[in-house]
Structure 1
Amino acid sequence: MSLFKKIRNTVKLLQSVDMDQLAKINQKIDLAEAMKTLGKLDDRQLVGLMRMLKTKNKKGQHDLPPIDGDFYNLDLKLTPEQRELQLKVRNFMEDEIRPLVNDYWKKDQFPFEIIDKFKKMNIVGVPYEGYGCPNLPFLMEGIIAQEIARVDVSTSTFFGVHSGLAMGSIYLCGSEEQKQEWLPKMQKMEKIGAFGLTEPNVGSGVAGGLETTCKFDGENWVLNGQKKWIGNATFADVTIIWARDLDSNQVKGFLVKKENPGFETEKIQDKMALRIVQNAIITLTDCKVPESDRLQNANSFKDTANVLRMTRAGVAWQAVGCARGAYESALKYTKKREQFGRPIASYQLVQNHLVEMLSNLTSMQTLCFRLSELQDQGLLKDEHASLAKVYCSLRMRDTVSQAREVMGGNGILLEYDVARFVADAEAIYSYEGTKEINSLIVGRAITGYSAFVS
């Protein structure tokens, strides 16, 4: 090709570029010098350059697909009303919560203003019947958990402790009088709840080794001991405390109010995860609780396990939300971040990471969707919830790690959100049963042999 033809073709290429692009090019390079350089290109190089410019001559860039972590369109399985609620929660989290979370995460503080915002949503106690609760399928409780965690896992944990663990304990184990007293107020978030099971020396072994004790003295139950990692406990109006009866050696549950003498909380400092959640160490010193505040239908750890079974599915959905938030943040970043003249999303290795993240996320979503269907059909077993917790927390961990990787150094900055997802994923990985404990629950179900230490 002659020099004249090369330059003529180059001029045609530049004419195909809109004025905005040309102005941007002129700011960055010397066009006269560029013309000389272009005249030295061979045929293959010119063809490649033409292709590159043509892909960017429509609106500056070819149309890109939307960022959506629901690759298998599971939203199509929702009813129009359910889909409307999902989008309502998503928009609420984007508009009201996302602008707050990084600042409060840095400060290790809880944004109390979000409680009034949540009140207006009417999404507390979703699966419960009566007491002002929406009485929607468990599936929607999972969808809501995903949508909240998609923006912030701390907020999801606050909400899950209150709506799931605390309200769920009263709903499953309380007397009718206790339900009438607490559930309507908690549903409206006029009263906030916490759940005290884990202890400083007892985590995985709570089924048989609670050190917190209770004893009836003829008038009141006297509680002694400590609880650790109790979310919401620094400000909750009522905390569900699980303790071992010194007389029967059975686990019992109690409604302990924040003003109860002998009940003290100390905020846990220096966490690397869930920094918005106000976790506390609770100390019970001859804490007297009347019989009327003992959960009347909580008489053994089996009753505690019923609460955990119900809420563990929600934790699996939280893992989905955490992974989805990290994936969508990373995908958005890779489409905008340019290196070597192109968005990094256009490179093979980055696309491989994105596809692995999406594969994790899609498998987690479909598993949890079926899990919630089993729950709504009354078929949920411990091993079903435990398998979901094991698998989803593992795949979540891998997903947030790859999200951080494709973002390079920026992946450790709060402003891009993924750093927060990476840290918060570590908490999800451990709470509501570690991988090992949940694996043993599933292992016992499929082999018929219990491998728990007795």
Structure 2
Amino acid sequence: MPFEPLASDFYSYASLLTEPERDALAALRDWLEREVRPIVNGYWERAEFPMQVVRPLAELGVLSYAWDETAPFENSPVFRGFVALELARVDASVGTFVGVQNGLAMGSIATAGSAEQRREWLPRMASGEVIGAFGLTEPLSGSDSARGLRTTARREGDTWILNGRKRWIGNATFSDVTIVWAKDEADGQVKGFIVPTSTRGYAATKIEGKISLRMVQNADITLTDVAVPESLRLQHADSFRATAAVLRQTRAEVAWSAVGTAIGAYEAAVRYATQREQFGKPIASHQLVQDLLVKCLGNITASLGMVARVSEMQGRGELRDEHSALAKAYATTAMRETVAWAREACGGNGIVLDYEVARFFADAEALYSYEGTREMNTLIVGRAITGRAAFV
């Protein structure tokens, strides 16, 4: 089907895309509208993940685009950003699944794995045969992961023994492998490991009671004398710099997801405002409602311009930590404001799932916090501005 620019892409950033990219985006949008949007409210309410979406996502190429070994056609970081936007525009949990699988898990192997590891794992993960998770955050270590990891790795011959705990690990209740980041007892450096979840001593327990991204299956992980062969150590991950290189790319993607989440809420509010009548006419014709919608669109447009530029810089190899950090901090803050205005435009109906805006409103809270809080990303940018670190 032909690609139609979103009305919320007010300055036509989709014009940066090539024809094959627009065609692929149109196919993804069509599938999301037909197969995903009708089911997500039920899965969100039950806090379950719709596993039936994994294979179609793989068949559409969504898990393949970023890597030379698997990409079905040449594509740009701007296009991959629009893919994240389209996913989150319909449901942020499905977008988060893809972000974990494609960005964090596959990204770790692509960034820090050997050529042999890339060839072995990336095609299997792109096809959906192998589902991945990313184990960095711990119960007592989040923002201070660069220094504060407590999970340890001890080498014994050609085997590594991992011990520790991880928390908030997306996909981890059903993943086949988890990328575990642990501190080497010998040199104190952070190293990465591809850990099959069937390994003895590995256990994952679902985190219950979430109010945001309820479909995402986050887990607490315990590692008790988990034995991993040297062949499953990421061969180019010898310090936290490798972890940071992965996060640099995925923070930009989360910023795109934030724009998509804001658009999802905004579009829901526009639909509601054009249908809901008060005082004898649709509320869309009232000045205060139009003011809310225009403020939403302003945030979306400003954020979209920022993330598009960041992705262009990524494509030219110019992206630095502070660029991704500013985009993530700004876009998620603007998203949080936007979903609140969109919910306000829907009045009392904005707090029920029927009109969709409530789901985006709740899910925005998780995007605001994960992949680096606003405060930590602010400090990354502040260091770049001043030349002085203010992290402690």
Task: Tell me if the contact between 2:69 and 2:119 (Cα under 8 Å) persists in the aligned partners.
Answer: no
What's the counterpart of residue 320 of structure 1? 259
* Structure 2 residue aligned with 1:418: 357
- Equivalent residue number for residue 244 of structure 2: 305
Checking the alignment, whether the CA contact within 8 Å between 1:67 and 1:328 is kept in structure 2 is no
Per-residue displacement from partner, 1:352-383 (whole Å, max 9, x unpaired)? 00100000000011111111000001000000
| CA distance in 2: counterparts of 1:437 and 1:421, whole angstroms | 24
Q: Could you tell me how far apart the structure 2 residues matched to 1:317 and 1:132 are? A: 20
AA matched with 2:288: L
CA distance in structure 2 between the aligned counterparts of 1:116 and 1:294, rounded to whole angstroms: 28
SS in 2 for 1:296: coil
Q: Do the aligned residues in 2 keep the contact of 1:153 with 1:421 (CA within 8 Å)? A: yes
Name the counterpart of 2:63. Answer: 124
1:391 to 1:132, Cα distance in 2 relative to 1, 3 A:
closer
1:116 shift after superposition? 2.0
Q: Which residue of 1 aligns with 2:132?
A: 193
Q: Distance in 1 between matches of 2:322 and 2:233?
A: 29
Q: Residues of 1 paired with 2:42 and 2:90: CA distance?
A: 14
CA distance in 2, matches of 1:154, 1:347: 33
- Counterpart for residue 111 of structure 1: 50
Corresponding letter in the other structure for 1:174: G
Which residues of 2 match residues 11-410 of structure 1 at below 5 A?
68-131=7-70, 134-410=73-349
User: CA separation in 2, counterparts of 1:67 and 1:266?
Assistant: 39
Match of 1:59 in 2: none
Post-superposition CA distance 1:15-59 (Å, at most 9, x none)? xxxxxxxxxxxxxxxxxxxxxxxxxxxxxxxxxxxxxxxxxxxxx
CA distance in 2: counterparts of 1:342 and 1:361, whole angstroms: 27
**How does the TM-score come out when normalised to structure 1?**
0.84
Tell me the alpha carbon deviations over residues 256-284 of structure 1, each in whole angstroms, 9 at most, x when there is no partner: 00110110000000100111110000000
> Secondary structure at the residue paired with 1:359?
helix
TM normalised by structure 2 equals: 0.97
Give the % identical residues. 54
Q: Is the 8 Å Cα contact of residues 199 and 228 (structure 1) preserved in structure 2?
A: yes
Which secondary structure does the structure 1 equivalent of 2:150 belong to? coil
Cα distance in 1, alignment partners of residues 49 and 9 from structure 2: 30
Contact 2:64–2:70 (Cα < 8 Å) also in 1:
no
Structure 2 distance, partners of 1:156, 1:140, is 15
- Distance, in Å, in 2 between the alignment partners of 1:422 and 1:147 is 17
Cα offset, 1:140, TM superposition: 1.3
| Higher Cα radius of gyration | 1
Distance in 2, matches of 1:135 and 1:255, equals 28
Name the counterpart of 1:13. Answer: none
Gapped regions of structure 2 (runs ≥ 5): none
* Cα distance, 1:98–1:189 mapped onto 2, change above 3 Å: same
Residue 380 of structure 1 aligns to which amino acid in structure 2? L
Q: Post-superposition shift, 1:218?
A: 2.0
Structure 1 portions without partners, runs of 5+? 1-65
| Comparing 350-359 and 78-87, the one that deviates more | 78-87
- What SS does the corresponding residue of 1:71 show, helix, strand or coil? coil
In structure 2, how many angstroms separate the alpha carbons of the residues matched to 1:405 and 1:67? 22
Q: CA contact under 8 A between 1:232 and 1:279: conserved in structure 2?
A: yes
Distance 2:88 2:110 in 1: 24
1:391-423 deviations in Å (ceiling 9; x for gaps): 000000000000000100000010111100011
Distance 1:309 1:118 in 2: 24
C-alpha distance in structure 2 between counterparts of 1:432 and 1:148, whole Å = 18
Q: What is the number of residues matched between the two proteins?
A: 388
- The alpha carbon displacement at 1:96 in A equals 1.1
Find the residue that maps to 1:190 and give its secondary structure: coil
Contact kept, 8 Å, 2:17 with 2:79, in 1: the verdict is: no
Letter in 2 for 1:163: N
Q: 1:105 touches 1:275 (CA, 8 Å); kept in 2?
A: yes
Q: CA deviation at 1:289?
A: 0.5
Q: Is the 8 A contact 1:214 1:243 kept in 2?
A: yes
User: What is the rounded CA distance, in whole Å, between the counterparts of 1:135 and 1:220 in structure 2?
Assistant: 38
Question: Partner letter of residue 221 of structure 1?
Answer: W
